[in-house]
């Protein structure tokens, strides 16, 4: 959740914006403050989900622009790409200091 919020620039995650359905699926709602030109990460990175992080890293810039350009401005997309770079820097520092096993959450087996 925090990784996604950092990527889209959502600073407003709180308990009222998280729903859990009957099957224990987490549903994130209220992204009204996301996709702004702010480049800072909204949450400190402690650990990352390996599957989500891998998908976020390989998401092509052209695809991001193509899909989001009709919905948000170029400055918001540029900020999102910058946040992804900042996330990478944070993850790299954490892995270097704590080791990958302490930072990267492996997929469920």
The predicted model scores a pTM of 0.89
**pLDDT > 70? residue 67:** yes
Question: What does the pLDDT read at residue 24?
Answer: 96
Question: What does the pLDDT read at residue 108?
Answer: 82
What b/e sequence results for 67-97 when a residue is b if at least 16 CB atoms lie within 10 Å of its CB, and e otherwise? Answer: ebeeebeeebbebbbbbbeebeebbeebeee
What is the total count of domains within the chain?
Answer: 1
**pLDDT > 60? residue 81:** yes
Q: State pLDDT tens for residues 17-39.
A: 999 999 999 999 999 999 999 99
Q: How far is CA 80 from the centre of its chain?
A: 9
What domain range is 67 assigned to?
Answer: 2-105
**pLDDT > 80? residue 109:** no
């Amino acid at each position: 959740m925090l990784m996604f919020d950092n990527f889209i620039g959502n600073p407003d995650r709180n308990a009222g914006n998280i729903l859990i359905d009957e099957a224990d699926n987490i549903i994130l709602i209220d992204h009204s403050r996301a996709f702004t030109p702010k480049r800072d990460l909204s949450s400190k990175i402690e650990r990352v989900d390996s599957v989500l992080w891998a998908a976020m890293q390989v998401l092509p810039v052209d695809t991001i622009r193509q899909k989001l350009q009709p919905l948000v401005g170029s400055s918001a997309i540029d900020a999102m790409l910058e946040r992804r770079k900042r996330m990478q820097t944070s993850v790299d520092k954490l892995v270097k200091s704590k080791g990958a096993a302490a930072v990267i959450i492996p997929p469920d087996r």
